[in-house]
């Protein structure tokens, strides 16, 4: 490894790796190098144990039974809500709604705004959004006659803030912006963007799916109306995520789905809905997943999100420097403010072949459009290969990635 690389003092990555049993395996006869963390991250033993413990000792439905197991399950579930509240620095745990993930949380909000928008209104997004933060707003526009406006990006993959500002008008009734792009790694100046939107009283949803494992989030300081994320990118199980919403917004919003637990009284004539947040949590939720999310946040807090971010920044800088040495490699997404994602293409090799051939060397990267087809169109590529780093990745793994890429280039001539 290049000796000049700066490592974060006191960050014991080898110790952390021991908490992730899945990392200790061979793939195609090679030590696994897992660099697909933006798709989903691996789970520490503490999270896996929390699921086993719940199913072995406490499994019961919540908010329904008076028996001991149900009380224990309810307590653990509601404790996880408090953990999420503190993690986001929301002012109340009632502002945390559990959902399947970022996608469901965005759809929940878009669905509620159907009642509030009409023809002539506009919804503002950016050109770097994931499909999950495009399609629900397109669907909302189709239903209401509103128009979708898209703020452009530059060749580095950064939002052009002046153009974003120009698109905000008295017609703008909602904005949905990503905190960090999954295809480019760009971190948006969301505080500034929210301030600009609030000058026109526009409510904002921040898609934090990629930011949440890397950036310390304070929803009160950001002052956003909504913030969404998926647990599975934050070392928690799949199928669980959260929506933060300001209480005054959530109280005005229609429920997303009807069913058990979201009601306080039902007759055939009329249903009275439950209070926020339960109004938005119809049916038996992902109880184990929610408890796992709480355990994942505890685990991250123990290491410290700032220490994790510093380590990942060091990996990204190192990878970016090393990538410059490879002539046939073009990095897609070179924003000044970037999270731990290296998207790239190789001259003469299709990204899907990169993905497959890297796997044969034990290296897991994602290849494809990353559910961000408009970003691919902008850069004129069908797809990219993407290496994305997490708290347990090492500088040696960056070396393995670069060696893997050089092998490919040699193989393909
Ligand atoms: N991006 C990726 O490999 P869900 O699927 O609901 O957990 O997350 C959706 C989502 C929303 N916004 C952003 C910025 C995202 O990156 C994602 C998920 C994964 O990049 C899967 S496509």
Three-state DSSP class for residue 22: helix
Query: Does 267 score more than 70 pLDDT?
Result: yes
Apex CA 91: angle with CA 90 and CA 96, to 5°? 50
Query: Does 4 score more than 70 pLDDT?
Result: no
Residue 410's closest CA among 324, 352, 328, 342?
328
- What is the band of 6 on the pLDDT scale with cuts at 50, 70, 90? low
- Please work out whether the CB of residue 85 comes within 6 Å of at least one atom of ligand 1: no
Identical topology for domains 13-31+305-412 and 48-302: no
Give me the residue spans of the domains in the chain: 13-31+305-412, 48-302
A 10 A CB-CB count for 366 gives 23
Atom of ligand 1 nearest to the CA of 104: 6
- Please work out whether the CB of residue 209 comes within 6 Å of at least one atom of ligand 1: yes
pLDDT at 3: 45
pLDDT at 9: 79
What mean pLDDT, rounded, does the chain reach?
97
pLDDT digits over 301-348, tens only?
999 999 999 999 999 999 999 999 999 999 999 999 999 999 999 999
- Please work out whether the CB of residue 132 comes within 6 Å of at least one atom of ligand 1: yes
DSSP 83-98: HHHHHHT-S-GGGEEE
pLDDT digits over 56-97, tens only?
999 999 998 789 999 999 999 999 999 999 999 999 999 999
For ligand 1, atom 2, name the residue with the nearest CA: 39
pLDDT at 1: 52
State pTM to two decimals. Answer: 0.97
Percent of the chain with pLDDT over 90: 96
Q: Report the catalytic residues.
A: 371
Ligand 1 midpoint to CA 101 (Å): 9
CA-CA distance, 332 to 376, in Å (whole number)? 9
Which tokens in the block code for residue 1? 């490894």
For ligand 1, atom 21, name the residue with the nearest CA: 39
Overall average pLDDT of the 385-408 stretch: 98
Ligand 1 midpoint to CA 372 (Å): 9
pLDDT at 5: 60
User: Does the domain at residues 13-31+305-412 carry the CATH identifier 1.10.3370.10?
Assistant: no
Strand ranges of the sheet holding 366-368, from the earlier edge strand across to the other edge: 329-331, 341-346, 384-388, 366-368
pLDDT at 412: 87
Overall average pLDDT of the 231-244 stretch: 98
- Please work out whether the CB of residue 386 comes within 6 Å of at least one atom of ligand 1: no
Ligand 1 midpoint to CA 365 (Å): 15
Ligand 1 midpoint to CA 70 (Å): 33
Query: Does 157 score more than 70 pLDDT?
Result: yes
- What is the band of 7 on the pLDDT scale with cuts at 50, 70, 90? confident
- Please work out whether the CB of residue 38 comes within 6 Å of at least one atom of ligand 1: yes
Class of domain 48-302: alpha beta
Query: Does 193 score more than 60 pLDDT?
Result: yes
- Please work out whether the CB of residue 388 comes within 6 Å of at least one atom of ligand 1: no
């Amino acid at each position: 490894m290049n000796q000049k690389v700066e490592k974060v003092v006191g960050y014991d990555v080898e110790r952390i790796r021991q908490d992730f049993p899945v990392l200790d395996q061979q793939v195609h006869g090679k030590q696994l190098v897992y660099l697909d963390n933006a798709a989903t991250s691996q789970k520490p033993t503490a999270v896996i144990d929390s699921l086993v413990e719940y199913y072995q000792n406490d499994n019961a439905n919540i908010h329904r039974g008076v028996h001991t197991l149900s009380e224990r399950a309810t307590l653990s579930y509601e404790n996880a809500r408090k953990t999420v509240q503190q993690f986001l620095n929301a002012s109340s745990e009632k502002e945390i709604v559990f959902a399947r993930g970022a996608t469901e949380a965005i759809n929940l909000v878009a669905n509620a705004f159907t009642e509030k928008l009409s023809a002539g209104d506009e919804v503002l997004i950016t050109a770097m959004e994931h499909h999950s933060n495009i399609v629900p707003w397109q669907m909302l526009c189709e239903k209401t006659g509103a128009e979708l406006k898209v703020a452009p990006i530059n060749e580095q993959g950064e939002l052009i803030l002046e153009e974003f500002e120009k698109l905000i008008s008295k017609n703008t009734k909602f904005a949905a912006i990503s905190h960090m792009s999954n295809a480019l790694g760009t971190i948006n100046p969301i505080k500034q963007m929210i301030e600009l939107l609030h000058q026109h009283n526009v409510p904002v949803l921040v898609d934090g799916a990629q930011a949440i494992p890397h950036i310390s989030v304070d929803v009160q300081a950001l002052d956003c109306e909504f913030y969404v994320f998926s647990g599975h990118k934050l070392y928690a199980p799949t199928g669980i995520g959260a929506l933060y919403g300001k209480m005054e917004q959530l109280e005005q919003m229609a429920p997303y789905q009807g069913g058990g637990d979201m009601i306080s009284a039902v007759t055939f004539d009329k249903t009275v809905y439950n209070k926020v947040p339960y109004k938005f949590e119809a049916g038996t939720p992902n109880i184990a997943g929610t408890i796992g999310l709480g355990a994942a946040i505890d685990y991250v807090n123990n290491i410290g999100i700032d220490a994790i971010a510093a380590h990942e920044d060091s990996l990204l800088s190192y990878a970016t420097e090393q990538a410059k040495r490879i002539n046939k490699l073009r990095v897609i997404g070179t924003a000044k403010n970037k999270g731990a994602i290296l998207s790239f293409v190789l001259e003469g090799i299709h990204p899907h072949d990169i993905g497959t051939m890297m796997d044969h060397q034990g290296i897991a990267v994602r290849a494809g459009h990353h559910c961000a087809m408009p970003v691919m169109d902008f850069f004129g590529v069908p797809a990219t290969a993407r290496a994305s780093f997490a708290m347990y990745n090492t500088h040696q793994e960056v070396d393995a990635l670069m060696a893997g890429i050089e092998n490919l280039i040699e193989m393909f001539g």
